[in-house]
Amino acid sequence: MTGLGPLLGKELREQWRTKRLLVVLIVFAAFGIASPLLAKYTPELIRALASDELANAVPPPTTADAVDQFLKNVGQTGVLAAILLAMGSVALDKERGIAALFLTKPASRGAYLLAKLLAIAATLLAGTLAATAVGYGYTGWLFETLPVGGYAAMGLLLFLQLLVYAALTFLGSTLARSSLVAAAFGIAGLALVAFIGALPAVGSYTPGGLSEAGRALALGQQPERLIGPVATNLATVIAIFVVAWWAFRRQEL
Amino acid sequence: MTLQEALPLILPLLALQLILIGISLWDLTRPDRRVKGGNKWVWGLVIVFGELIGPLVYLFVGREES
């Protein structure tokens, strides 16, 4: 992994210079605020606008609704951000011939790839932490104060979930010469993961399974499965990186 | 809940949205900025009417990096 430090520094500066880090922080924080608000006031809005019969059928909002909204909104936006962050990471460098330039310096191909993936992970982590912090504050304000450790653990599990989708798109970006093909690879990966997630025996080991565990932890409950899904998803990210590295080593740049 | 009660809750969200639109429009209107497809007006509409996702898509996909 020769040259990892300087390459990672360059990638992190790039995330800041292109305003990607800032935008991810703002968008994630906005969804962190919006989720408890939606959970709290959507039933009130329906009651105000609907007929009496329908209004009576709407149950009062609960803290679990706020956590569900958070996981849904930040999860969906996060997947989009993960794909957008990773799609051009390697493919654009190859398209413009920049990758070959970097690798003429004393830097290994493994370090080049790892620096890119770590910078994407750092941006996603920063965004997820921002969303988690404001989501926690707003949930406490509008509903009840949840255990801070459990809520933070939910944020970290959400981050791991997004990292899997980023890694899948990153693999596409490494294999392809076009960022659009990489995005298509990420979306196909998303569909595949959703399909596997629907299978009864293995569903809880997919990234979607991490949401279930995160939900339970945030609400102060014991998740049915935790270590298995975390280990499986971490191993998936590492395996995807190894495949990307193996393929990249054999590519003509 | 009255509007006065709701405002302190909603204002940070509005502020974030405006900051995001401001950053994106400032970037879009730079004279040296080139965009995908070449039409800055289209990207302007994406930024302004795309809620939170519009600026995200512009800043990640819309710019031709120099």
Q: In this predicted model, which residue has the larger pLDDT, A252 or A134? A: A134
Q: Is B63 helix (H, G, I), strand (E, B) or coil?
A: strand
Token readout for A200 is 């009864």
C-alpha pair distances (Å), A31 with each of A95, A123, A142, A190, B61:
34, 16, 15, 21, 21
Residue A151 belongs to what H/E stretch? helix A148-175
Contact between A37 and B10 using a beta-carbon 8 Å cutoff: yes
Domain ranges of chain A: 4-249
Q: Which residue of A has its CA nearest to B21?
A: A23
Write down the pLDDT at residue A179.
Answer: 87
The tens-digit pLDDT sequence of chain B (66 residues) is 666 777 888 899 999 999 999 999 999 999 999 999 989 999 999 999 998 899 999 999 899 876
pLDDT, tens digit (0-9, with 9 covering 90-100), for A79-106: 999 999 999 889 988 888 887 777 777 7
Contact between B13 and A34 using a beta-carbon 8 Å cutoff: yes
- How many residue pairs from chains A and B have C-beta atoms closer than 8 A? 58
The DSSP line for B24-53 is HHHHHT-TT-EETTS-HHHHHHHHHHSTTH
- Angle separating helix axes A20-49 and A4-17, nearest 10 degrees: 50
Q: In whole angstroms, give the CA distance from residue B59 to residue A159.
A: 21
Question: What's the whole-number mean pLDDT along residues A195-205?
Answer: 87
Q: In whole angstroms, give the CA distance from residue A80 to residue A69.
A: 17
Q: In whole angstroms, give the CA distance from residue A150 to residue A167.
A: 26
Task: Please determine, for the modelled complex, whether the ipTM score is greater than 0.95.
Answer: no
